[in-house]
Chain A
Amino acid sequence: MSSLFNEVTSTRSDDVPVRRVTITVNGETHTADIEPRLLLAHLLRQGLKLTGTHTGCDTTNCGACTVLFDGRPVKSCTMLAVQADGHEVTTVEGLNTPSGLHPIQEGFKDEHGLQCGFCTPGMMMAAKALLDENPAPSEEDVRWALAGNLCRCTGYQNIVKAVLWAAERMDDTEAEEAS
């Protein structure tokens, strides 16, 4: 096992500082003994095997590792896992609804909002944070909200369309539920 997460849980020694943390990820509570230098992105990917969260640039530029931290988007490569102790994290795996894909995921599919797919999880989580606060964003709102996420394939056009598609769909669903 090469991950820091497993390393510290399996071979504890006295000179390695270890902290016990309890983190709720996608509604499920996990307790782990981790080294404080473990990044949240690595805890998710290697510790919890939630590899939907991608690590791209590793320098806080690209946003591929974006997850929701207590409902707000953060770059999980720029947070220590130990900082998430007692907090709630939502990853792209947590977007799924009981009835299937989340409207944001459907939107990316329908509007071809991805090519290589590397930035997609981060884009979707940033979009989720936007739509949670602003269910009817303008195109400009979407572009501003996604400004911390880089895509090297699409030129962003279809990503923006996908988010607007999702906003419309979620609005319809809510209207149906209300009627």
Chain B
Amino acid sequence: MYPSRFRYEAPTSLEEAIALLQQGAGEAKILAGGQSLIPLLKLRFAAPELLVDINGLPGLDHLVADPDGTIRIGALVRHEHIERSTLITERQPTIAAAAPLVADPIVRTRGTFVGSLCHADPQGDWAACMIALDGSIVAQGPNGRRTIPAREFVTGTFENVLDPAEIAVEAVIPPPQGEAHGGYLKLERRIGDFATAAVAVAADLRDGQVSRAGIALVGVGATTIDAREAADSLVDGALGPEAIDRAADLAAEAAHPRSDHRGSASYKRHIVRTFTARILTQLDRSTQKAA
């Protein structure tokens, strides 16, 4: 399969890339890892006039923590880089849990974290993590930079809020309010398949109490679902069987699954409930052990 014909540019500065996107006037696409875009081009679901390859841009491959604990992930950080990062394994359990479950190991060598967020696939793993973590996306355009909360970034299936001439330059995870805990569980029929359902959980703990929580659901709606009520039910309390059950019920209620070849709606809802409870229970046990 060949993509339809396009013009290809590989700018060497962000300014040049933005200028090209402006010229493209909505008919341009950004190429980062390409692991979703290139299949779409080949299937002719996308037929941009111009492809702006940002792989040569300097200063976008950073995966760093600021002194205050904020984690910044540049637009060219590949999934594999995150999977192997000690910074992530030591500090960010939700991201660390999801990293080895994204796509398959070969796709992970090319695909990017930020690109996955921009692609806005309701099956995307990273969008759920970012929502659970209260993360945000920094975009740069002709009029400068702006920061968009992950929760507001996606407007629909494969749709985000970026203007045609804006580039998402980094993803930002705010510092935890206390100690960062969390997890990610995904059910897939086989590695590389779309998730039947997946759940991202982030819970910051301070003195045995949940100071902040986020729960987001994958594959059970037209976009990633922010299970806000479920997460809020945990805040200012200690984890425990009752709190966990309540949160898991609320998470399952927040899901809007559809029956398909991956499972019935009620089955997927059940998975959401089970995964939410499982992550929280494990988290509760591990913190009790540590205490």
Q: Which residues of A contact B (CB under 8 A)?
A: 4, 16-17, 19, 35-39, 42, 58-61, 63, 66, 69, 72-75, 77-80, 82-83, 85, 126, 144-145, 147-149
Contacts and interface: CB of A to CB of B under 8 A. Distances in A.
B104 A148 contact: yes
B8 A4 contact: no
B147 interface: no
A58 B42 contact: yes
Interface string B69-113: 000000000001000000000000000000010011111011000
B interface, how many residues as a size bin?
20 to 34
Contacts of A19: 8
B249 interface: no
Nearest to A38: B2
Given A147-B192, A148-B107, A148-B192, A60 B39 contact: yes
Contacts of A145: 105
A73 B104 CA distance: 11
Nearest to B1: A58
A117 B50 CA distance: 38
Interface of B: 1-8, 10, 31, 34-35, 38-39, 41-43, 51, 53, 55, 80, 100, 103-107, 109-110, 191-192
B12 to A, nearest CB: 12
A73 B109 contact: yes
A140 to B, nearest CB: 12
B106 A74 contact: yes
Contacts of B2: 4, 37-39, 42
Contacts of A148: 103-107, 191-192
A39 B6 CA distance: 13
Given A36-B51, A79-B110, A147-B105, A17 B191 contact: no
A146 to B, nearest CB: 8
10 contacts: A16-B5, A36-B6, A37-B2, A69-B109, A72-B109, A74-B106, A80-B38, A82-B53, A83-B55, A147-B191
B106 A79 contact: no
A75 B106 contact: yes
A36 B106 contact: no
A85 B56 CA distance: 11
Contacts of B39: 59-60, 78
B35 A60 contact: yes
Given A36-B7, A82-B8, A149 B42 contact: no
Given A58-B42, A79-B38, A80-B34, A149 B106 contact: yes
